[in-house]
Amino acid sequence: MSDSAIGEVLVSGDDLRRRVAELGRQISEDYADRDLVLVGVLKGAVIFIADLMRYITTPCEVDFMAVSSYGSQTDSSGVVRILKDLDAPIEGRDVLIVEDIIDSGLTLQYLMRNLNARSPSSLEVCALLAKPDRLRVDLEPRYVGFEIPDRFAVGYGLDHGQRYRNLDYVAALEE
């Protein structure tokens, strides 16, 4: 894609594929003999979860939630609204939230609280990307694909104003 808003490559397509495969193998090991439900957070996690689940070799189901966090275009406020809830109950099940990126962590903190209240057997997080310098809450994701610097990232599902989700690598937005 030739677009002057797309800056430096943060994670190449090859590195994404290698790491996503590795995460899939790890999750398959960790969740063998469990009752795994992957919960993808729309829309950013769509590409990640689609690739990740093909590397999971143990039985699993997939469900989706859509949330919107109030805030500016590049900063979330922690006030989250559920736009689409899960299709099925998760009580007694092993839930793994699949998220595109942890920035402040406020969105995930809200999601964790909300899903925990439904009494899953376990609740963990798998995030493709994390910006450790921006984290504002106490959150320990079980799986993180890559830690990235404090830049606004686009591609591989991540958008800016709904664009650039279709890039097959992760790049910094040129601001």
User: Where in the sequence numbering do the catalytic residues fall?
Assistant: 103
Nearer to ligand IMP, 32 or 82 (CB): 82
CB-CB contact of 41 with 61 (8 Å): no
How many CB atoms lie under 10 A from the CB of residue 23? Answer: 21
Interface stretch with Mg ion, choices 51-59, 98-106, 122-130, 159-167 (CB under 5 A):
98-106
Establish how many alpha carbons lie within 13 A of residue 164's alpha carbon, considering only the half-sphere containing its beta carbon: 20
Contact between 6 and ligand IMP (CB under 6 A)? no
Pairing state of beta strands 76-84 and 94-102?
A: unpaired
Residues in contact with Mg ion, counted by CB under 5 A, come to a total of 2
- Token readout for 61 is 């189901």
Choice from 26, 28, 69, 122 touching ligand IMP (CB under 6 A): 69
Of 147, 146, 142, 148, the C-alpha closest to 126 is: 142
Q: Does residue number 120 form part of the binding site for ligand IMP (CB under 6 A)? A: no
As given in the structure block, the two tokens for residue 65 are 């939630």
d(CA 71, CA 157): 20
- By CB under 6 A, which span of 16-24, 84-92, 113-121, 150-158 interacts with ligand IMP? 150-158
Tell me: does residue 104 bind ligand IMP (CB under 6 A): yes
Site for ligand IMP in 21-50 (CB under 6 A): 44
Footprint of Mg ion (CB under 5 A): 44, 100
Footprint of ligand IMP (CB under 6 A): 44, 69, 76, 99-108, 152-153, 158
